[in-house]
A and B are shown apart, each in its own frame.
Chain A
Amino acid sequence: GAVVSQHPSWVICKSGTSVKIECRSLDFQATTMFWYRQFPKQSLMLMATSNEGSKATYEQGVEKDKFLINHASLTLSTLTVTSAHPEDSSFYICSAWTGLGYGYTFGSGTRLTVV
């Protein structure tokens, strides 16, 4: 139980285009989702916290106009990287709190490569 499905697992896009990453909670309602970015051999860096039906809260230094987060339902949160550039290439991971039994569960991640 407590599965978060993240798609796509990898995506290659051209510089200047936008890319949408989806995370769905399959068997629970995710009131709050977290979006992380991870560079090679580094830890996870929290980008933003999204609450269902309200605006996301972004961490300091994260451009909210570049990384658009939508959490329109209790089972779906999306991250859109707008006008992507090569420096946006990274591994993006979503997470949700599932309750004490399973804690925070993570999606499988999306490898974004901007060329």
Chain B
Amino acid sequence: QQQVKQSPQSLIVQKGGISIINCAYENTAFDYFPWYQQFPGKGPALLIAIRPDVSEKKEGRFTISFNKSAKQFSLHIMDSQPGDSATYFCAASPTGTASKLTFGTGTRLQVTL
């Protein structure tokens, strides 16, 4: 019940295309859903996060879509750029400062020219 399932494992998108990464969870206690971007040899960096009271959140080229009834959420990267090539992790946690983040397995995104 603690798992967050992420797909696809890897993704190749042409420059200017849309990258879509999906995640699904089971624990209904989760109410904070962030996405992280990680470059090789670096720690994860927060991209965007959403709470269940909204179905969509957009920040620049990044959009989270959230479906509470299906317990799914996804990251859309519009106008994908080579600089977006990285590993993306979805995560989830219940509210609370001591709450543990549960991570998805990661998606390696490659944006080609």
- Number of interface residues, chain A, beta carbon within 8 A: 24
**Interface SS majority for chain B:** loop
Cα A93 to Cα B49 in complex, Å, equals 20
| A14-22, A42-50, A65-73, A82-90 - interface stretch | A42-50
Q: Check if A102 sits within 8 Å of B46, measured CB to CB.
A: yes
Q: Check if B46 sits within 8 Å of A34, measured CB to CB.
A: no
Q: Check if B103 sits within 8 Å of A44, measured CB to CB.
A: yes
Cα A6 to Cα B41 in complex, Å, equals 13
**Interface SS majority for chain A:** strand
Cα A82 to Cα B49 in complex, Å, equals 36
Cα A42 to Cα B38 in complex, Å, equals 12
Q: Is A103 an interface residue (CB 8 A)?
A: yes
Q: Check if A43 sits within 8 Å of B89, measured CB to CB.
A: yes
Residues from chain B with a CB closer than 8 A to the CB of A102 are 46
> Which residues from chain B sit less than 8 Å from chain A, CB to CB?
32, 34, 36, 41-46, 49, 89, 93, 97-101, 103-106, 108
> Which residues from chain A sit less than 8 Å from chain B, CB to CB?
6, 31-32, 34, 41-44, 46, 49, 51, 91, 93, 95, 97, 102-109, 111
